[in-house]
Amino acid sequence: MAETATQDDHRDDAAPDGNRSARPPLSTLVRGWRWALPLAVAGVLLRLVAVAGIHLYRYFDSGEYETLDFSGRSRRPWTTPLLYDLLPDDDGSVVAAQALIGAVSWLVLAFALAALFRRRSVQVGVAVATVALGCTSVVTNWDATMLSEPMALSLTVLVIAAWTDFVRRPTELGALWVVVATVPWMFVRQSLMPTAWLTLLLAAGALVGLLVKKADRKAVTPLALVVVGLLLGCTWATISYGRNTEILHHNITAIVADRIAPDDDLRTWFVDEGMPLPADGRLDFGGFDQDAAFQAWVEESGTSTYARFLAAHPWYTVTEPLEDFVGANRSYQEVPPFSDPQAPPVTMLAPAEPYGSSRDVLPGPIEDVLLRGGAVGTVLTAIVVVTGWAIVRRRDIDGRWIVPLATIVLATASLYAAWHGASTELPRLGLPAAVALRIALIVLIGLLAEGELDRRDRGPAYPRSG
Domain boundaries, the chain: 2-244+345-458, 247-305
Rounded to two decimals, what is the model's pTM?
0.91
What residues form DSSP beta bridges with 145?
57
Q: How far apart are CA 205 and CA 203, in angstroms?
A: 5
The mean of the pLDDT values for the chain is 89
Q: Provide mean pLDDT across the span 287-298.
A: 95
pLDDT at position 132 over 50 = yes
pLDDT at 334 over 60: no
**Which among 457, 461, 460, 466 has a CA at the least distance from the CA of 118?**
457
CB burial of residue 282 (10 Å; 0-12, 13-18, 19+): middle
State residue 11's pLDDT score.
45
Band the pLDDT of 20: cuts 50, 70, 90: confident
Q: pLDDT category, 328, cuts 50, 70, 90?
A: low
| pLDDT of amino acid 374 | 84
